[in-house]
Amino acid sequence: MGDVDTAPDAASRAREADAPRNSLVARLGADRPLKLDAGVELAPFQIAYKTYGRLNAERSNAVLICHALTGDHHVASVNPVTGKPGWWETMIGPGKPIDIERYFIICPNVLGGCMGTSGPASTNPKTGQPWGLEFPVITIRDMVRAQAMLLDELKIDTLFAVAGGSMGGMQVLQWAASFPKRVFSALPIACATRHSAQNIAFHEVGRQAVMADPEWRHGRYFAEDASPRRGLAVARMGAHITYLSDAALHRKFGRKFQDRENPTFSFDADFEVESYLRHQGSSFVERFDANSYLYLTRAMDYFDLGADCDGVIANAFRGAETRFCVVSFTSDWLFPTSESRAIVHALNASGARVSFAEIVTDKGHDAFLLEEPELFAIVRGFLDGAAKARGLKNGK
Amino acid sequence: MGDVDTAPDAASRAREADAPRNSLVARLGADRPLKLDAGVELAPFQIAYKTYGRLNAERSNAVLICHALTGDHHVASVNPVTGKPGWWETMIGPGKPIDIERYFIICPNVLGGCMGTSGPASTNPKTGQPWGLEFPVITIRDMVRAQAMLLDELKIDTLFAVAGGSMGGMQVLQWAASFPKRVFSALPIACATRHSAQNIAFHEVGRQAVMADPEWRHGRYFAEDASPRRGLAVARMGAHITYLSDAALHRKFGRKFQDRENPTFSFDADFEVESYLRHQGSSFVERFDANSYLYLTRAMDYFDLGADCDGVIANAFRGAETRFCVVSFTSDWLFPTSESRAIVHALNASGARVSFAEIVTDKGHDAFLLEEPELFAIVRGFLDGAAKARGLKNGK
């Protein structure tokens, strides 16, 4: 993993956490602190976000996009850190399923993230030092509370839609549960109402990989000019396998050797799949903060909508008038279709309006980020229907 | 992972690798070196092994047990390192499915292992120092070649049966392919004819976790009185998840908290499943050598029976008179039933005699090591039938 050493230094990561490039920044909490599930208050704090399209005069066409664990707010434009296209440009843009000529898109970096919203990589205003592990442990509900404060700031009362996959889908569900009157329609994709034991287990391995790296320095690597690059790369490699599928890995790589005809009988990356994984690990550490990874995986682990209402998930959505479209993928073994069915059953039991689609694909959990024409058609169709019901005009 | 620090020191591990307790040791290769797939010769080398029961006068009742990645030869008696029962005592013993009153059981530690058979933790006779990464990279076929030399030493021409699960199952298949006339019956359990891309990927993450640990010292931790405990523990934690199943983890742990009512909002092991995994990691490093882990995972990755016969696996078994019993488990996602079916199809195409059983269980890959009455009944029945065909007398 030699190229791990090209990772940006702690100082440049800290700059992005405090003063994100190509981003809008809302400074919040000065008058009204963010009350966290951990029982502490966070104030002041900031949210970095991007918007695309225009808010209409009625302020009724806003679509909130919630990003996944390692995503960020650069959803439909070039990411200033990686130089790569936005992570959902296939979904969001002019004429795309989430059409920026029709809707006003808002995508915030999540609380606990490292791309401009307050998190462990940000400067603690009270000390002038990076928060590190002094940052309070946060939950999906805390992320959503912070986003609601952003919407207050933007004077947007009701979202036309909230959409997201994976951890983004968890936020979508939490939005509908916490603020049912502020969500006209909701698109939770490839997610669940609670993190499974197996998923907690995978996250714990990733966290242990980070914390086992002596360069982690108990979370104080910033202060000591260190960086747990190797631990974070291992965490990413392990997680990345769970985002794909056995079939997709077989189709893409099989047992093909990397730039050779025969095995080297060594511990080099003989197989293409090894080389691919090492690249996933080393490129990830160039753009992500190790402590953020701990905080965000922890937030996912803690997510359990049913726990807030005596285990009856339907009660979380009781009385909601939100229109739901739940989507899963056949080869997603991180958030299998059974989890999405549980969401649908709960929504049915609560009397909510819900459609459900299971998309046949071998691409695994990551399918929601990839070129999936059926997903695009479903999102477009669902939003079209919701737009009619909402009385939104067509386009421009 | 505080208790990782109680791991035995390098010196005591090295002693076990060279002078294993409660073991028989065969010193081989002095007259005839072991020719490895890597193109080098290994001589001298040693195999640590255990036997149970008595070899009959015809020398026709020998059963070879091949162990899995992290197993060893202490298959049916107390393990001198851990103090725990043998890993397959439910299967092997007096009156058990593999009955030591009827059969003569031989279980060797694999080549590359760390419990007495030559491997990276052993002393290189040429230097007087531990082999470390100077030990040649080995394959499943090399393991089987070494075992065949042990059988020559024991003057056993034909095995009544070869049995094993996971990496042990790979050895069983290789035995039938390499020495068809020496194998009367074969029991490959929960395995495959080649390691899949996803499995290679998981192994690579484990190896990277070990090699990312600065205490690994490029494999020279022995010489430097270091030990990559934390890296190896992370590798084990990740691997352990793959040995279980989503359903089993849900059943055993779900989202239960460990010794508390509510989350701590910290990175402690809040969930039982986290605590369990940490224990798996820390107890593993007390008994296993990190370099051995690299070598044995590599051997599994390289395993590809079809590659030796132009991709036609049936050709690997052509003309074999071995009787096969192939077993898989419904919830095993590391070696799913589809892999066992591929074995069966190849055996059918080669005209071999084969029976196949898929056992319904939620216990995942590790089911072959656990209390599975259906597995016991299948093994007992298969061996009974083979014993009749072989003309073995009943018991004692």
Report the mean per-residue pLDDT for chain B. Answer: 94
Give the pLDDT score at A222: 86
Q: Which is the catalytic residue, given A166, A178, A282, A328?
A: A166
**pLDDT computed for residue B5 by the predictor:** 38
Question: What's the CA gap between A239 and B238, in Å, rounded?
Answer: 10
Residue B73's pLDDT is 98
- The three-state secondary structure class of A359 is strand
B63: closest CA of chain A, how far (Å): 31
Q: Does B210 touch chain A (CB under 8 A)?
A: no
User: What's residue A3's pLDDT?
Assistant: 38
Q: Which of residues 128-187 of B touch A (CB under 8 A)?
A: 133, 136-137
Q: Helical H runs in chain A? A: 10-18, 140-153, 167-178, 197-212, 229-243, 246-252, 272-284, 290-302, 313-316, 337-349, 373-390
Interface of B with A in 65-124 (CB under 8 A): none
Provide the token pair at B162. 């070869």
d(CA A297, CA A292): 8
Give ipTM to 2 decimals.
Answer: 0.94
Position B169 pLDDT exceeds 80: yes
Distance from C-alpha of A208 to C-alpha of B274, rounded to nearest angstrom: 10
- Measured over the CA atoms of residue A155, residue A160, residue A165 and residue A170, the dihedral's sign is positive
- Closest-CA residue of A relative to B237 is A205
Q: pLDDT-derived band of residue B2, with 50, 70 and 90 as boundaries?
A: very low
Residue B124: φ, ψ to 5°: -75, 115
Of the candidates B198, B200, B294, the beta carbon closest to that of A274 is on B200
Alpha carbon of A237: minimum distance to chain B alpha carbons (Å): 6
Distance between CA atoms of residues B255 and A202, nearest Å:
14
pLDDT of residue A121: 96
Contact B229, B5 (CB under 8 A): yes
Cα(A332)–Cα(A343) distance, integer angstroms: 16
Contact by Cβ (8 Å): A211, B267: yes
Pairwise CB contact (< 8 Å): B212 & A211: no
CA-nearest of B47, B57, B1, B56 to B24 is B47
Q: What domains can you pick out in chain B, each with its CATH number?
A: 13-196+307-390 (3.40.50.1820), 200-296 (1.10.1740.110)
Active site residue A157: no
B175 vs B310, higher pLDDT:
B175
* Dihedral (CA of B327, B332, B335, B336) sign: positive
- Tell me if A197 and B230 make a contact (CB, 8 A cut-off): no
b/e burial code for range A240-250 (CB count within 10 A of at least 16 → b)? bbbbbbbbbbe
pLDDT value for B395: 55
Of A389-393, B317-321, B342-346, the least confident: B317-321
Give B9's pLDDT tier (boundaries 50, 70, 90): low
Cβ atoms A265, B38 nearer than 8 A: yes
- The pLDDT score that the predictor gives to residue A320 is 83
β pairing state of A185-189 and A98-99? unpaired
pLDDT at residue B235 above 90? yes
pLDDT at B6 over 90: no
pTM score, whole prediction: 0.96
The β-bridge partners of A186 are A162, A324
Q: Round to whole Å and give the CA distance between A50 and A77.
A: 9
A7 in contact with B at a CB cutoff of 8 Å? no
Q: Which residues contact B82 (CB under 8 A, 6 or more apart)?
A: B286, B287
Residues 6+ apart with CB under 8 A from A337: A328, A329, A330, A358
Q: Is omega for the bond preceding B44 within 30 degrees of 0, making it cis?
A: yes
Residue ranges of chain A whose pLDDT lies below 70: 1-11, 395-396
User: Which chain A residues are within 8 Å of B214, Cβ to Cβ?
Assistant: 214
Q: How high is the pLDDT of residue A158? A: 98
Contacting residues of B for A298, CB less than 8 Å apart: 267
One of B23, B122, B166, B292 is an active-site residue; which one? B166
**Cβ pairs A/B, distance under 8 A:** 161
Query: pLDDT at position A5, please?
Result: 38
Query: Could you confirm whether B275 is annotated as catalytic?
Result: no
**Active site includes A332?**
yes
CA of B89 vs chain A CAs: smallest distance (Å): 28
Q: Do B269 and A204 touch (CB under 8 A)?
A: yes
Tell me whether strands B353-359 and B323-329 are parallel, antiparallel or unpaired.
Answer: parallel
Chain B residue with CA closest to A266: the answer is B137
